[in-house]
Chain A
């Protein structure tokens, strides 16, 4: 038996690295890059507010940058829309280097990956997850004695001539596959992400974009918007005002918490097992010119390289190229200098493709393919649409919207009134966490198009105020209509309770107002005449901004005036209401229809 670390009597697996920062080390540079990237990401999220955007309009080119460099976003939207939208071309600055360098994005750029890496560094210790199979004890960072012992051992190893091919067949250190604590070596569960990717891309082929559910940048953005920032704002109303509300925030928050906490048990569980972007980049790194290379002649099989391996890519054996995050920990950890980042290393030293059988991928793809007909034939996105699905101003037609929206929820963050909410199944399974408007929480502010300005994929178009309001050259096209307001005569104060009100008319922002008041005199209960102003909705004028619903003093679970998606102008295949005027004029003798014609019904 060769000399393993155990034979030395004391546990010797330790960090070869010192805890002190050494500025010349590449891992130090990597940590700095990761910190800067995470800081930039957090700063962009923090700056994504209407007030900042208003003060500094140029920000809109930067706020979505992390989503725009995400190759999964650009490739998946290219599959659904056959185009690469605006800033998504930036994804080439990640995609092209990946072809040469491998998954450097995962180890260096991705803020979600950095979060996982940080939490893993903070909390995870080898063997902490499974007490029965404890690995080596936690190494003391910076322990000089250990380091000295390490050096001694390395010297011993060299002297005793254990290097060479014999070690491959002999007993490994305590980190060998059989005894390794969970998460220090490659696990077959890492195949799952390729199946997720295959399923999502297959679904995208038909036109339903689901990558946003698990894409790390969308996921992190959504978690910041829906859970982290509101949680930070809640205790300090004097600083931030009333905390922003988000439907289903609990799930968004606990999903983030759970995925991050998984690092306690399984280091970088999300990155290794679930991340579809990681899977995509892993596939792209197949032809990488540079990769980690182990020199079997120098390697003494101490397995230290596995201890801090981020991707669990087995640098101690045949490198699994698709799993390697290019974090350089193994190179830093190797006391023998047997590992290097090399140009064109021998092909047979690495496993280039993912470890997934074709059968599994086909099965996953089939699941994705079936997902489309199953969700589409529920009818939620077509004829059986929910009238609650009111999309932000500038949103494209529903089916195109589902091809574009990546559920990153940036629009939700930037909205000044908090009216945009992550959907909770109102638009069906397909639209989970996509933006819809909730007028009980806010209303769509007339002179605001911030949501479209930050949308990275064009699901919400970057329209101008003039176009939103139908001014100038957009006059013929008319204003963007989100829906139509309806009065509930059984709940409305003047209509049913003889109480003066018409707040809806007061706040109605169109000119002339879409809500108009009819002056009537009624006989009150005590016999005295009562002058009342009764509200009416002019469907030709209503743009569905929802301020009437938001301000209505009848605040039950349904206001006395409420907006539904009927009459929304984004429906292209159906004429908008005001263009129907000629039809109505022709039928002038007929009584005026009480409801706007349902726009999406029979649409598709």
Chain B
């Protein structure tokens, strides 16, 4: 051998280095080995079927009002909102729905880049009143979120919702990608013949998981395809993914959302009702205060389906029998109730009227 002799130490370190390298390569190959390719790997793990029932915790006597409306002047939107909520329980008001320490998620409609007066989005004054009532009832935290069609920052800003949220000390949750999770919306594959549409779908899950109570506040609007966009259609904003496919079965999707999401309380903001050119509107002449009622109105309800039916008839002036998603939703919720869930879903609002479960007040 020529040159310097290899020392024992060098021999061992070099030998060990090569052996360790070979071992790491082999172990890495073994650990990462995948005979199936992408198809065999689980994609994002699906969440268990369904969402929390945010209505579960509410104690609600059988005879208590299911729907309450309040009318008043443009300048008194906060009072109207309070009156509507208190109409459901004159003694406890919001405290019936929100307990001390609750984390409340409020879902307004901020779907479009429109100023509030065009009625395409939730009026910030209604939102402010609801946030304030939640705080008064002892909510630990109030979250506000929506996943608008247009850029979220611009929509929250133009609709005045970001300022309302900031002014009341609530927190705006932007629909950032990491807040979504793939949800199995039902435990079986959807059956299109049975009016089912949603299967696995990305949901704005993070705020929903954090919240203990859920309140939807939706403007009452005409809709080009569904005919109406009220509290049930408002749940679109809790979903992600390619929502533009929903339109291919819009009534099935809206009724699926009615089944999937069981809110604590829903509020229909009819301070300005969009009677035509919905859901975007664009002109003052497209909206009327309170719609067919003619005065700014706020409707609070524990039964979202009845709320949509009532608004469709009394504010938009149309026949709920012609709105397919109402009956579909009622049917799906009935099945859920039969399976033991605590839900309300009556598409015939007159049934409540007959029982005296609709209250109204005028300011």
| Interface hit among A268-276, A349-357, A503-511 | A503-511
Query: Which A residues touch B157, using CB under 8 A?
Result: 51, 54-55
B76 sits at the interface (CB 8 A):
no
Pairwise interchain contact A553-B245, C-beta atoms closer than 8 A: yes
Query: Which B residues touch A447, using CB under 8 A?
Result: 113-115, 154, 158
B248 sits at the interface (CB 8 A):
yes
Question: Do A500 and B224 contact each other (CB < 8 Å), given the known contacts A54-B157, A417-B151?
Answer: no
Question: Do A511 and B283 contact each other (CB < 8 Å), given the known contacts A242-B177, A446-B113?
Answer: yes
CB distance from B273 to the nearest CB of A (A): 15
Which partner residue on chain B sits nearest A500 by CB separation? B248
Query: Which B residues touch A577, using CB under 8 A?
Result: none
Which partner residue on chain B sits nearest A505 by CB separation? B224
In angstroms, Cα B76 to Cα A57, docked, is 30
A485 sits at the interface (CB 8 A):
no
In angstroms, Cα B283 to Cα A442, docked, is 24
Pairwise interchain contact B176-A238, C-beta atoms closer than 8 A: yes
Query: Which B residues touch A318, using CB under 8 A?
Result: none
Pairwise interchain contact A511-B247, C-beta atoms closer than 8 A: no
CB distance from A524 to the nearest CB of B (A): 13
Query: Which A residues touch B249, using CB under 8 A?
Result: 500
- Out of A237, A508, A511, which one reaches B286, CB within 8 Å? A511
In angstroms, Cα B225 to Cα A190, docked, is 66
Pairwise interchain contact A416-B280, C-beta atoms closer than 8 A: no
A448 sits at the interface (CB 8 A):
yes
Pairwise interchain contact A509-B280, C-beta atoms closer than 8 A: yes
Pairwise interchain contact B244-A50, C-beta atoms closer than 8 A: no
Pairwise interchain contact B282-A506, C-beta atoms closer than 8 A: no
List residues of A (221-280) whose CB comes within 8 Å of B's CBs.
237-238, 241-242
Main secondary structure of the interface of A (DSSP, over half): loop
B174 sits at the interface (CB 8 A):
yes
List residues of A (478-516) whose CB comes within 8 Å of B's CBs.
493, 499-503, 505-513
List residues of B (316-347) whose CB comes within 8 Å of A's CBs.
none
B43 sits at the interface (CB 8 A):
no
Question: Do A511 and B280 contact each other (CB < 8 Å), given the known contacts A50-B154, A506-B224, A553-B245?
Answer: yes
In angstroms, Cα B149 to Cα A445, docked, is 11
Which partner residue on chain A sits nearest B115 by CB separation? A447
- Out of B150, B151, B158, B223, which one reaches A506, CB within 8 Å? B223
Interface size class of A (residues with CB under 8 A): 35 or more
B293 sits at the interface (CB 8 A):
no
Interface centre among A237, A242, A512, A552 (most CB of B within 10 A): A512
B87 sits at the interface (CB 8 A):
no
Pairwise interchain contact A505-B177, C-beta atoms closer than 8 A: no
Pairwise interchain contact A513-B225, C-beta atoms closer than 8 A: no
Query: Which A residues touch B248, using CB under 8 A?
Result: 493, 499-501, 553
In angstroms, Cα B248 to Cα A238, docked, is 31
In angstroms, Cα B244 to Cα A500, docked, is 11
Pairwise interchain contact B277-A505, C-beta atoms closer than 8 A: no
In angstroms, Cα B247 to Cα A378, docked, is 44
Pairwise interchain contact B176-A237, C-beta atoms closer than 8 A: yes
In angstroms, Cα B114 to Cα A55, docked, is 16
Pairwise interchain contact B244-A448, C-beta atoms closer than 8 A: no
CB distance from A511 to the nearest CB of B (A): 3
Pairwise interchain contact B225-A533, C-beta atoms closer than 8 A: yes
Question: Do A502 and B247 contact each other (CB < 8 Å), given the known contacts A445-B151, A508-B280?
Answer: yes
A68 sits at the interface (CB 8 A):
no
Pairwise interchain contact B176-A241, C-beta atoms closer than 8 A: yes
In angstroms, Cα B164 to Cα A527, docked, is 53
A551 sits at the interface (CB 8 A):
yes
Which partner residue on chain B sits nearest A509 by CB separation? B280
Question: Do A503 and B244 contact each other (CB < 8 Å), given the known contacts A54-B157, A509-B280, A511-B280?
Answer: yes
Main secondary structure of the interface of B (DSSP, over half): loop
What 1/0 mask marks residues of chain A from 48 to 64 whose CB sits below 8 Å from any chain B CB?
00110011000000000
- Out of B113, B154, B225, B277, which one reaches A511, CB within 8 Å? B277
Pairwise interchain contact A512-B154, C-beta atoms closer than 8 A: no
Query: Which B residues touch A511, using CB under 8 A?
Result: 277, 280-283, 285-286
In angstroms, Cα B280 to Cα A517, docked, is 15
Pairwise interchain contact A510-B282, C-beta atoms closer than 8 A: yes
Query: Which B residues touch A237, using CB under 8 A?
Result: 176-178
B112 sits at the interface (CB 8 A):
yes
Query: Which B residues touch A416, using CB under 8 A?
Result: 150-151, 153-154
Interface centre among A506, A508, A513 (most CB of B within 10 A): A506
Query: Which A residues touch B5, using CB under 8 A?
Result: none
CB distance from B275 to the nearest CB of A (A): 12
Question: Do A553 and B244 contact each other (CB < 8 Å), given the known contacts A54-B157, A237-B177, A502-B225?
Answer: yes
Pairwise interchain contact B154-A445, C-beta atoms closer than 8 A: yes
In angstroms, Cα B175 to Cα A237, docked, is 11
CB distance from A487 to the nearest CB of B (A): 15
Pairwise interchain contact B153-A500, C-beta atoms closer than 8 A: no
What 1/0 mask marks residues of chain A from 162 to 198 whose CB sits below 8 Å from any chain B CB?
0000000000000000000000000000000000000
CB distance from B190 to the nearest CB of A (A): 16
In angstroms, Cα B152 to Cα A50, docked, is 11
Query: Which B residues touch A50, using CB under 8 A?
Result: 151, 153-154
In angstroms, Cα B157 to Cα A55, docked, is 8
In angstroms, Cα B117 to Cα A447, docked, is 14
CB distance from B286 to the nearest CB of A (A): 6
Which partner residue on chain A sits nearest B111 by CB separation? A507
- Out of A502, A509, A547, A551, which one reaches B224, CB within 8 Å? A502
In angstroms, Cα B114 to Cα A416, docked, is 14
Which partner residue on chain A sits nearest B154 by CB separation? A416
Which partner residue on chain B sits nearest A506 by CB separation? B224
CB distance from B118 to the nearest CB of A (A): 9
Query: Which B residues touch A501, using CB under 8 A?
Result: 247-248
Pairwise interchain contact A54-B154, C-beta atoms closer than 8 A: yes
Query: Which A residues touch B113, using CB under 8 A?
Result: 445-448
Question: Do A500 and B150 contact each other (CB < 8 Å), given the known contacts A241-B176, A493-B248, A506-B280?
Answer: no
CB distance from A245 to the nearest CB of B (A): 14
Which partner residue on chain A sits nearest B284 by CB separation? A511
In angstroms, Cα B285 to Cα A55, docked, is 29
B250 sits at the interface (CB 8 A):
yes
In angstroms, Cα B177 to Cα A553, docked, is 20
What 1/0 mask marks residues of chain B from 274 to 296 whose CB sits below 8 Å from any chain A CB?
00110111110110000000000
Pairwise interchain contact A417-B242, C-beta atoms closer than 8 A: no
CB distance from B202 to the nearest CB of A (A): 13
Pairwise interchain contact B247-A503, C-beta atoms closer than 8 A: yes
Interface centre among B113, B250, B286 (most CB of A within 10 A): B113
List residues of B (259-316) whose CB comes within 8 Å of A's CBs.
276-277, 279-283, 285-286
Give 16 new A-B contacts, CB below 8 A, not counting A54-B158, A237-B177, A238-B178: A238-B177, A241-B174, A416-B150, A445-B154, A447-B158, A500-B248, A500-B250, A501-B248, A502-B224, A503-B244, A506-B247, A508-B280, A509-B280, A509-B282, A551-B149, A551-B244
13 A-B pairs whose Cβ atoms sit less than 8 Å apart in the complex? A50-B153, A238-B178, A416-B150, A416-B154, A445-B113, A445-B154, A446-B114, A506-B225, A510-B282, A511-B277, A511-B285, A547-B149, A553-B248
Q: Which residues of B contact A (CB under 8 A)?
A: 112-115, 149-154, 157-158, 174, 176-178, 223-225, 242, 244-245, 247-250, 276-277, 279-283, 285-286
